[in-house]
Amino acid sequence: MDEYKASIPGYVQCLLAGGNQETCVSEGPNFAAYFMFYFFIRLFGILLFCIYGTSENARNIWIHSTLLNHPAIKPFLLKYNIVNYNSVTVFGSGMAATNSKSMTSGKNKSR
């Protein structure tokens, strides 16, 4: 880190002397450091998607998203049976949405 900070004054003096971006070059991290950073960021992204993005709750969010409901994408998903929009439940309850009268039982009627 100190080697990068040490190159800053020379870079600024080059710019103040009338140099441009092509003639004034500062030191930075090498290719291996950039590669390792981006590799692990992508690896963590894939890992987090596998852990959190494949649950039933996440599936319901994806199915109701504007991306999968786009007019150009939805027919493709239905044609190849990738997503079945009829099997999605409301609020993850396991039962389809019904009106309030059918959800109340006869035991709870007011006397």
What's the pLDDT tens digit per position in 13-50? Answer: 888 998 887 888 888 888 999 999 999 999 999 999 99
What is the per-residue pLDDT for 88?
53
Return the closest-CA partner of residue 92 out of 51, 66, 71, 64.
64
> Could you tell me the residue ranges of all domains in the chain?
1-52, 54-99
What is the per-residue pLDDT for 53?
84
Return the closest-CA partner of residue 60 out of 94, 99, 108, 25.
94
What is the per-residue pLDDT for 87?
58
Q: What is the pLDDT of residues 54-100, one digit of tens each?
A: 888 888 888 889 998 899 998 988 888 887 766 555 444 444 444 44
Residue 46 has φ and ψ, to the nearest 5°, of -65, -40
Q: Is the pLDDT of residue 7 over 70?
A: yes
Q: CB under 8 Å to 95, separation ≥6 — which residues?
A: 89
Ramachandran bin of 19, using left for φ above 0, alpha for ψ from -120 to 50, beta for the remaining angles: beta
- Could you give the dihedral angle defined by the CA atoms of residues 82, 86, 90 and 95, in that order, rounded to the nearest 10 degrees? -120
What is the per-residue pLDDT for 101?
47
Distance between CA 38 and CA 29 in Å, rounded?
13
